[in-house]
Amino acid sequence: MNTQTSLSPQFYLTAPAPCPYLAGEMERKVFTHLIGPRAGEMNDLLTQGGFRRSQNIAYRPACERCRACVSVRILANAFKPTKSMRRVMTSNRDLVSTVFPAQPSTEQFSLFRRYLDFRHQTGGMSDMSALDYVIMVEDTHVQTRIIEYRLPPSDEAPDEKGELVAVALTDLMGDGLSMVYSFFNPEFDKRSLGTFMVLDHIERTRNLGLPHVYLGYWVKGSRKMGYKVRYQPQEHLTAHGWEVYAPEEISE
Asked if 74 contacts 213 with a C-beta cutoff of 8 angstroms, the reply is yes
In this prediction, residues 210-236 reach a mean pLDDT of 92
pLDDT, one tens digit per residue, over 147-197 is 999 999 877 777 788 999 999 999 999 999 999 999 999 999 999 999 999
Contacts of the segment 86-89: beta carbons below 8 A, 24+ positions apart: 88/191, 88/192, 88/195, 88/196, 88/199, 89/196, 89/199
Average pLDDT (89-109) is 97
**Is residue 127's pLDDT more than 50?**
yes
- Helix ranges restricted to H, 37-144: 39-48, 83-91, 106-119, 130-138
pLDDT at 250 over 70: no
- Rounded CA separation 212/173 (Å): 9
What's the pLDDT score for residue 4?
Answer: 42
pTM of the model: 0.91
SS3 content of the chain, % helix, strand, coil (to 5): 30, 30, 40
CA distance to 39, 52, 128, 195, per residue, from 166 (Å): 28, 22, 18, 11
Q: What is the reported pLDDT for 1?
A: 41
pLDDT reported for residue 21? 86
Q: What is the mean pLDDT of residues 100-104?
A: 96
> How far does CA 234 lie from the centroid of its chain?
15
User: For 134-159, what is each residue's pLDDT tens digit?
Assistant: 999 999 999 999 999 999 987 777 77
pLDDT tens track for 39-71: 999 999 999 999 999 999 999 999 988 999 999
72-245 CATH: 3.40.630.30
What stretch(es) of the chain map to CATH 3.40.630.30? 72-245
Q: Which residue has the higher pLDDT, 119 or 37?
A: 37
Q: Name the band, by pLDDT with cuts 50, 70 and 90, for residue 9.
A: confident
For residues 126 and 124, what is the distance between their CA atoms, to the nearest angstrom? 6
Q: What is the pLDDT of residue 108?
A: 98
The pLDDT, as a whole number, for residue 252 is: 55
